[in-house]
Structure 1
Amino acid sequence: MFIEAIVLGVILGYLRGGKINNLNRIELRFPVALIATFIIEIILRLYSVNFNNSIANLIFDNYMYIHIVFYIIVIAILTANDKLKYMKIIQGGYILNLLPMMFNGGKMPISESALIRVGQSDMISFLKEGLIPTHQLIDSSTRFWQLSDFIPMKYPIAKVISPGDIVLSLGLILFIYHNMKSKEV
């Protein structure tokens, strides 16, 4: 959903006469730390599910904590940049996503019926077996299910999203749009 938000923000920016080069003028604090956080999380996630050794097992078994720590780091970096217009909306999306994870064992709850609606029913057995480090199925004990992944979205890429994803994506679209068209960043 975030790639779609970035692309939509760029398209809207262009349609309103903005320039992509204006994004270079954004005075983002800690950009290397932000990028490194995303890269490290992706590497750890891929390593933990694609390898079968003691390190991969350790990462997989503790991924719920790793995932929450990464979210907290991203929120801290966004807080350091909250003077930038629309950054608080992006930050709000991350916080909305963090809440259900924190109160459900570090994993984002996801709706079984929504997975079926978007044609991803094959994921259900993996989730039931605990083979996906980032998500778990919503059940009667799920807390903050209203902030969980329960919204089916078929286009442009089939997925199940959360209200936090929507807020975060809206913030990204507005942030990119504003900074592409703006002479002041």
Structure 2
Amino acid sequence: MVYDGIILSLILGLIRKGSLKGLARIELKYGWVFPLLLIFQIGVFYFQQSSDLIARFSSYSFMLVYIVGLIFLWLNRASSGFMWILAGVFLNFLAMAVNGGRMPVSVDVAAKVLDPSYIQELTGGLYAKHAAMSDSTLLGFLGDVIAYNRPYLGPQVISIGDIIMNIGIFIYIQFLMVTDKTHINSSYVDSMGR
């Protein structure tokens, strides 16, 4: 769902006459951490299918990614929108932490919008970093319980944390695109006044 916040924010930024050049102004502390976390998470997902050892420790690996990600977000909390992103990621982390390191997914909601093969995988055991919700699930309302139908990438089931995180991503991109244009215009006016 992260792509949705990015796409919508870019479109609105352009409608507001913002500049894509503003995206080049991204200055985050330890910004190299994010791509490494993404690569690590993809690696765990890929190899957990072929290795019992990795599958056994994949829950811990996903939680490690979230912990490092939360630290990264906290260090960058002064950036516009990052407190929203931090809050959303923390809610997802909390849902996973109390449920064995996996994001609980409502099978009933998922069955309404997702492919039956996904439901079969989910109910048959662990699927990536997800697990089927059951009577023993804690804080189930923080899990993937919201059906979301996207015309361009298809339906999915998301959490309240995903929505909050996307609000933060939207705010951050708006800040970069529109503030950059304002900054350029004010610099131009200042230089003309001299």
**Normalising by structure 2, what TM-score?**
0.88
1:93-172 correspondence runs (5 A): 93-156=88-151, 157-172=154-169
What are the Cα deviations for residues 87-127 of structure 1, in whole angstroms up to 9, with x where unaligned? 10001000010111000011000011111111333222212
Measured in 2, the distance between the counterparts of 1:30 and 1:164 equals 23
Structure 1 segments (4+ residues) deviating >6 Å:
none
Alpha-carbon offset, residue 178 of structure 1: 1.6
Question: Per-residue deviation at 1:81?
Answer: 0.4
1:61-80 map, 5 Å: 61-80=56-75
- Indicate the SS of the match to 2:32: helix
What residue is the counterpart of 1:33 in the other structure?
33
Aligned length: 179
The question of whether the paired residues in 2 share the 8 Å contact of 1:118 and 1:158 is answered with yes
Report the Cα offset of residue 131 of structure 1. 4.2
Q: Deviations over 1:46-93 (max 9, x none)?
A: 2222xx3xxx22111111110011011111001110111111000100
What letter corresponds to residue 33 of structure 1 in structure 2? V
Distance in 2, matches of 1:83 and 1:119, equals 37
Distance 2:114 2:93 in 1: 26
Letter in 1 for 2:97: M
Counterparts of 2:109 and 2:145 in 1: how far apart (Å)? Answer: 6
- The residue aligned with 2:188 is none
Amino acid at match of 1:88: M
CA displacement at 1:26 relative to structure 2? 2.4
On the 8 A contact 1:97/1:164 being kept in 2, the answer is yes
Separation in 1 of the partners of 2:130 and 2:88?
Answer: 17
Distance in 2 separating the partners of 1:8 and 1:171:
12
In structure 2, stretches of 5+ residues that fail to align are 184-194
- Aligned AA (2:147): P
Please show how residues 169-184 of structure 1 align to structure 2 within 5 Å.
Answer: 169-183=166-180
RMSD (Å), alpha carbons: 1.3
The answer to whether the 8 A contact 1:60-1:133 is kept is: no
* Letter of the 2:74 counterpart: T
The CA deviation string for residues 112-160 of structure 1, in whole angstroms up to 9 with x for no partner, is 1111111333222212221413111111111010100010112132100
Which deviates further from its counterpart, 117-126 or 105-114? Answer: 117-126
Q: Contact conserved, 1:67 with 1:134, CA < 8 A, in 2?
A: yes
Mapped partners of 2:179, 2:91: distance in 1: 28
CA distance, structure 2, for counterparts of residue 25 and residue 32 of structure 1: 15
